Amino acid sequence: MTLLTTFAAFFGLVMLLGMVNDNAATCTGSDADRVYYCKTFQKDYSEGTKTLIFEERNVGLINSTVFSSPTLKSVVTLTLTGSKIRTIESGAFEQFSSLITLELQNNKLTTLSPSWFHDSTVLEQLNVAGNVIHQLRPGMLEGYSGLKVLNLSRNEIVSIESGSFATLSKLSSLDLSYNRISSLERKVFTSMNATLKLHGNPWNCSCEQKDFILFLQELVNASRLNDSTLVTCHYPPDLNGMIVWNVSEVNCSASVLSPPSTKIFHKIVLPALFVVLGECVFLPRQIGSLLCLCP
């Protein structure tokens, strides 16, 4: 019996040491600054942890059970980059009640939602660069009223609906560079005083975008457009490569007509000119000399 008890105690100690070593291999860091690097998710984390950086590479889905430890309430920075995250469910970050910075770049996310948090107003910096977001709509950022820095660069954004940034009154930096945006309305940025990054997009500089071009000129004058010389036209071909905010009203001539105006010119104006010229040629010379001074 004594031998059996001793063996059980020894086996328990071995298991405990194995768990300790496994945890040590999973998360490493410094107790001094409370920054921990984790290879995979755990059920619990060190009390007072300030920063969690995960190296998990095939996450896919984050639901409300992944981060369930109450010790996460002290975390102020969470990094989940290059983890192939496709979906984040409601309440997934509910335990992060003190989170200020969330790094989610280089994943497979297609949308954003304030429902990820119990209180999304605490968050100040959100980095979702390098995902596959196609569109921004009102509601996607509605609860993030405390945001100061928002990085949406290197997504696949084509359109941004008016009101998408309506609640971001504290925003100081907005990065929309290297997306697929060709046109925007000034009102998208209403009530926003943030510095913008807009380069790397295929901007349409036709005359119908005149108001937005003027808006960019105002941003440049107010030093609120970063890398401004890299914000260049993609369309029309005549202006390809030209700095958007350098396009002036003189470019709104017949040579740079927008497609609707070109159609009107070819379908109405040009035929009318041919009719007038035809009358000059075929009317009797004496009438023609009176009407159009033909030779």
Please tell me the CATH superfamily of domain 24-255, with its number: Ribonuclease Inhibitor (3.80.10.10)
List all residues 6 or more positions away from 169 whose beta carbon is below 8 Å from its beta carbon. 145, 191, 192
Q: What is the pLDDT of residue 257?
A: 40
Quick check: 75 and 49 in contact, CB under 8 A? yes
**Successive 10-residue mean pLDDT values, the chain, 295 residues:** 45 38 63 89 93 93 95 97 97 97 98 95 97 96 96 98 95 98 94 94 94 94 96 94 82 47 50 51 43 42
pTM over 0.75: yes
pLDDT reported for residue 21: 38
Ordered by start, the domain boundaries in the chain are: 24-255, 257-295
What per-residue confidence (pLDDT) applies to 256? 44
Q: Looking at residue 266, what DSSP letter applies?
A: I
Phi, psi (rounded to 5 degrees) for 53: -120, 115
Q: Of 170, 165, 244, which is closest to residue 211 (Cα–Cα)?
A: 244
Give me the pLDDT at residue 272, please.
55
Alpha carbon distances (Å) from 183 to 211, 256, 259: 11, 17, 15
Contact of 53 with 83, CB cutoff 8 Å: no
DSSP notation for 113-158: -GGGSS-GGG--EEE-TTS---EE-TTSSTT-TT-SEEE-TTS---
* φ, ψ at 170 (rounded to 5°): -95, 0
For 90, the 3-state DSSP assignment is coil
Would you call the peptide bond into 284 cis, given omega within 30 degrees of 0 as the criterion?
A: no
Torsion sign, CA atoms 65, 66, 70, 72? negative
What pLDDT score was predicted for residue 32? 78
Burial 219-237 (b: 16+ CB within 10 A, else e): bbeeebbbebeebbbbbbe
Task: Residue 192: count other Cβ atoms within 10 Å of its Cβ.
Answer: 17
CB 167 within 8 A of CB 145: yes
